[in-house]
Amino acid sequence: MRDILPPESGRWRRFTAVFADVVEAAGYQQLIPPLLEDLGVFTRIGDATDVVTKEMYDFVDKGKRRVALRPEQTASVCRSFAQHRPTVPWKVFYSGPNFRYEKPQRGRYRQFDQVGIEVLGVDDPMLDVEVIALGWEFYRALGLRQVTLQLNSLGEPDDRARYVEALRTHFEAAGEQLSEQSRNTLAKNPLRVLDSKREPDQTFIESAPQIADFYSDEAAAHFDAVQVGLRALDIPFVVEPKLVRGLDYYRRTIFEFLGGTLDSAQNALGGGGRYDGLVEALGGPATPGIGFALGVDRTLIACDDEGCFDAEAPQLVAFVVDVVGGLEAAVLTTDLRAAGLSADRGYDNRSMKAQMKLANRSGASFAVIVGEQEHADGTVVIKPMHGGDQVTIPRSELIAHLSETTNS
Ligand code: HAM
């Protein structure tokens, strides 16, 4: 787990703000689920996933309840829906930290942030298109260019079940030739064997049955409609039949956004899909659902690599240098801030030279200086810090003067 220090922290805040702008413009409203939930909420993500079996931060609280820090937020959104029964379609977005006990490395952390959207109550493939398009638009708003969209469908639950059995038979026939890890995975979830990057597994993955051969007519029609919609919006995508995603709740459409600059183990910038049975599993009515989550930490690494969406320190308008005791600076900074002009100051009654050094370091556009003479005359000196002549003006004109200069 790590600290996000300034000025990087400011970039995180802007990231969330840009995301909120994109999705609020499409009718999504924010849901703020708790960080901690009953463990049972998250075990619905699937008992064959590492997220549930190996990576959960779960413990017994003082009331002897088994609870866990959320590893993601889709399950919480569905739990919230089942609990509050809002009218559908329920279009929500969220942001915030998640916790997974993973092996930390660049782009993979035990506490990481996500922004995401979820829609409950709509079966229409045009919603799949909208959801994917919003993710795409957000990457564009950040200025990222090297993002690839991978798309697949896992079919209806019956299709998926038949496909899983076909995969099981196929991989079992490989026997000992399959890597040991994949043999373990096979026992729990044959789909995830398709994710293996290990060399001995590759020939068997290549020759594995294809999901498309198992689609029912409905599943095939839904998937076709999604592709037609994405083409109509000029969103480029690649159908990747081996894309399975790491969580068990998915049905039908699934997708992943991959970054072009990251290592393949950490190049998923975001992902999502349909999870039509999850609300029901959490005690609610049968409700279709779809959404995505985008990893903030990882997407910002991609931004660094591509040189977009920079971290900028906020620009101060004024730095008040007060060499007559510090009270003048207290009043002036308060007045400036109240007028919407950002202002900082020096403390501890330091020398003019020391305070001017601070003013310089602060990056402020102007130093506002109050010396003995100005104090006596009711004036201030305004010194532009990035070139230009200094002026002495009546104190009462300070705000008007700076407002005018900063607006021009
Ligand atoms: P996920 O694929 O597990 O999906 O996570 C989504 C994104 O979160 C990943 O693509 C990645 O960018 C980021 N991420 C995941 N784990 C880590 C980590 N340890 N460190 C840094 N970043 C990480 C979900 O969480 C689903 N809830 C997405 C979803 C929403 N599906 C439907 N609705």
- The DSSP bridge pattern shows strands 268-274 and 289-295 to be antiparallel
Nearest-atom number in ligand 1 for the CA of 107 is: 21
Pocket test for ligand 1, best of 72, 108, 132 (most atoms within 8 A of CB): 72
Burial environment of residue 12 by CB neighbours within 10 A (0 to 12, 13 to 18, 19 or more): middle
Pocket test for ligand 1, best of 51, 298, 301 (most atoms within 8 A of CB): 298
pLDDT digits (tens, 9 = 90+) for 26-79: 999 999 999 999 999 999 888 778 888 889 999 999 999 999 999 999 999 999
Burial environment of residue 220 by CB neighbours within 10 A (0 to 12, 13 to 18, 19 or more): middle
Q: Distance, CA 301 to ligand 1 centroid (Å)?
A: 15
Nearest-atom number in ligand 1 for the CA of 269 is: 12
Question: What are residue 37's DSSP bridge partners?
Answer: 68
pLDDT digits (tens, 9 = 90+) for 242-256: 998 888 899 999 999
Q: What percent of the chain has pLDDT over 70?
A: 100
Torsion sign, CA atoms 94, 247, 309, 140: negative
Query: Cα–Cα distance between 13 and 9 in angstroms, integer?
Result: 7
For the record, the structure tokens of 179 come out as: 């890597």
Q: Distance, CA 293 to ligand 1 centroid (Å)?
A: 6
Q: Distance, CA 69 to ligand 1 centroid (Å)?
A: 15
Nearest-atom number in ligand 1 for the CA of 73 is: 27
Helices (H) and strands (E) in the chain, counts: 16, 16
Q: Distance, CA 266 to ligand 1 centroid (Å)?
A: 11
User: 271: how many CB neighbours lie within 10 A of its CB?
Assistant: 22
Query: Cα–Cα distance between 55 and 41 in angstroms, integer?
Result: 15
pLDDT digits (tens, 9 = 90+) for 81-112: 999 999 999 999 999 999 999 999 999 999 99
Nearest CA to ligand 1 atom 12: 295
Residue 196 has pLDDT above 90, yes or no: no
Q: Distance, CA 259 to ligand 1 centroid (Å)?
A: 14
pLDDT digits (tens, 9 = 90+) for 304-340: 999 999 988 788 999 999 999 999 999 999 999 999 9
pLDDT of residue 172: 93
Closest CA to 131 of 219, 27, 59: 27
pLDDT of residue 49: 83
Nearest CA to ligand 1 atom 9: 270
